[in-house]
Structure 1
Amino acid sequence: MSEYRVLGIETSCDETAAAIVTSKAADGARFAPGKLRILSQALVSQIEDHSPYGGVVPEIAARAHLDILDSLVRRALDDAGLTLEGIDAFAATAGPGLIGGVLVGVMTAKALALVTGKPFLGVNHLEAHALSVRLVEPVTFPYLLLLVSGGHSQFLAVEGVGTCRRLGTTIDDAPGEAFDKVAKMLGLGHPGGPRVERRARDGDPQRFPLPRPMVGRPGCDLSFSGLKTAVRQTVEKLGRPTEADINDLCASFQEAVAGCLASRTRAAIRLFSERHGTGRPLVIAGGVAANTRIREALDAVARDCAMTFHAPPVSLCTDNAAMVACAGLERLALGLTDPLDFKARPRWPLDPDAPPSIGAGRARA
């Protein structure tokens, strides 16, 4: 066999998704990075369900996944022109994430694997993000990854499938969470990232002198809680911000985040290069990687440091099933399948050997 077809399922937060990805390449390889093909994608967002609450409600998310997932799997199969017998393995996000939703996806994939007699693949959601760039670009190991999303922020040396070494992480909040909180302060609604970026386009990024936490400190850890506090204090001083005030504050906040990430990425590159040499790829992934200004800042850093810069398409930055199927393909090609008693995990670090984070900030405790 020179081809695999994997059906991936994503239910870790507020996106319900199913996708089928094939590994068929011109050279006949079972897995060739950058030469995979998405046969179908089906996704339903729960944004409207959670908007009244200003964030994701786990119970609502789990019930929504349960209601819609079967029909999305059927749609993915129909769009690809396949039946269950045409699928070689079933992959699902098995953690980390909201455990109720994760269980819906895992149990669905296990059931499909059981009735078809095909392999089951429990995929780490963070690794799916980490490997997503290899779906569309021939990025080879090792590479330096900045993984930034609503719940995660870390620098990782991605040395192979299942092998990541953490170089730095947030000591408190993730940037995506900061974007959401700032949007809430300004009355922009949920999700915050795209709304803040949209308003920032019409703003002055130099108007409000916001701090750049952790810049200049040893290592490459990150922090965003102080930046959130500075935005809140600015809003309080403004009283009732005008539309122009909101645009300028969004632009200033976005510029501060981009500046922090750029500076800490330079520090991470130094640490990464000590072990892996220079000229390796720099990759950004996760929901915040969809932000245009942050991409521009990281691209400039890569050029300055003689590295190539890579980012998945915007559609593959936010949670999706194609990246889960891609990670499943990587594992399947190496024979790394999982038993049907594999347990879903609300927490699942990419680097299990990283030192404990307790005491370094509330989110790391």
Structure 2
Amino acid sequence: MGEVVSGLAVFAVVIAVGWALVRFGAVPAGSDTVLTGVCFYAATPALMVTTIGGADLATVVSRATLAGLLAETLGIVSAWLVHRFALRRSVAESTIGALAAGYVNAANLGIPVLIVLLGDATAIAPILLLQLLVISPTAFAVLDVSTARGAGSRPAVWTAPLRNPLLLGVVAGLVVNLTGWDARAAAGGLIANSLDALGALAVTLMMLSLGMSLAASSPRVTRRLTIVRVARLRAPGSAADGADGGPAAGGADGGVDGAGGAAGGGPAAGGGADGAGAALDRGERGAALWVSVAWKLAVVPLLALGLGTALGLRGPALLVPVTTAGLPSAQNVFMYATRYGAAKPLARDCVLLTTAGFVPVVLLAAVLLS
């Protein structure tokens, strides 16, 4: 238990440093976008290659992994049924609500949390594969049909999982592991040392990025960012400026966040008009939001606990599936909601609330299972 608390304390301190850097002006608001890009395209894929490349795959294909996979799948399906038939939301809104209730932030929070708490992030690989290869394509199919937008009109969305650097890192790690290729013997160790150096950045950069994004989502900082962007647009030569750092930067932010960006950044920054719309329908939308939040922070972890117990896991062995199940909603969900115009306020707010609430869930699990 002491190790878990100590690990979470380190996690909190580094996040707080990231928050303070933006809050007190040491780095500009929006800096989390740069760190998130580094993590998403370089550091985390390298970490996946080195972690999975040297892992005992028997521990990946384990009862703990199976419990986590089943819990997420059952959580998403059951949440969809509640949204659709109990809350009477549309198919598209139910799909976004279900994803918010079960699709976890496996990359930007899952990896550092598992490394800090358990010392190994190997268990997150099957979750990433499930989400990128099964859940995302299935969600796209349902959303395409329910919003009357044919799959042919959205090739970039459908092929996104196959172009995801995290997926490529997982696949490369599996190839290295299964073939027994010795990266340290290749090119005089240059490849292995480079991957180690990049992978070592991942966890710290992810936590700093999360803190920065939380600071940037505060009303004061968001207002300041908006003023700066408007000033850039009005300045002479604004088209060129926009290409270098204005609207284009915002677009990159959305892209990285949607693919696994730091929790809290994209939704908070993009939620002004949607937040006003949500206030018009607090009853129904509020119920849908709290169902998704409750599913993410309580129902899915309890499913993982029950399934793990049924599979014969006891004590600390249950901490892996329960921890992965309790991770907050991924920002991918907000990207999907934005692209398909369904339940955007729910997706945004669920990401923020579950990001704030997952630490007590992990602590409670550690107390009960350690």
TM-score > 0.5 by shorter chain: no
TM-score, L = length of structure 1: 0.25
Q: Which has the higher contact order (CA 8 A, sep 6+)?
A: 2
Q: 1 or 2, which has the higher helix percentage?
A: 2
TM-score, L = length of structure 2: 0.24
Q: 1 or 2, which has the higher strand percentage?
A: 1
